[in-house]
Amino acid sequence: MNGRKAYEADVARQPNYPDGTPRKTWDQLRAIEQWSWGRDMATGTYLDFQAKAFMDRRPDLRPMSLDEWLAQHHDQLTETERQEGYDLLAKFD
């Protein structure tokens, strides 16, 4: 899957940030953001970036490593957020 398709699929799953603000369209992303979506999803660096981006969607929660973040904030996350987080965490294994 190319970067644009991956980003647009992610936006289709989660069209808004937790505060209700709509996410940017592909064409509104900066070049570095588009580039990052096109990177190989199997690399650890890319997964780290994705984990940070995932946690950044909840600026009300203190950032930390993804596994700690999911455990610490479990009760404050929606079921969808928990599932997305654990799915992302599983890619690190």
Do 70 and 58 reside in the same domain of the chain?
yes
The domain containing residue 44 runs over which residues?
40-93
Do 44 and 20 reside in the same domain of the chain?
no
The answer to whether residue 42 scores a pLDDT higher than 70 is no
Do 48 and 85 reside in the same domain of the chain?
yes
> Helix, strand, or coil here: 22?
strand
Do 27 and 68 reside in the same domain of the chain?
no
Contact 55, 66 (CB under 8 A): yes
Q: Which two tokens stand for residue 61?
A: 């929660």
Do 29 and 60 reside in the same domain of the chain?
no
> Helix, strand, or coil here: 77?
coil
Confidence (pTM): 0.54
The answer to whether residue 38 scores a pLDDT higher than 80 is no
Q: Which two tokens stand for residue 18?
A: 């937790």
Do 23 and 58 reside in the same domain of the chain?
no
Do 44 and 88 reside in the same domain of the chain?
yes
DSSP 28: G
Do 27 and 51 reside in the same domain of the chain?
no
Helix, strand, coil % over all residues of the chain, rounded to 5? 60, 0, 40
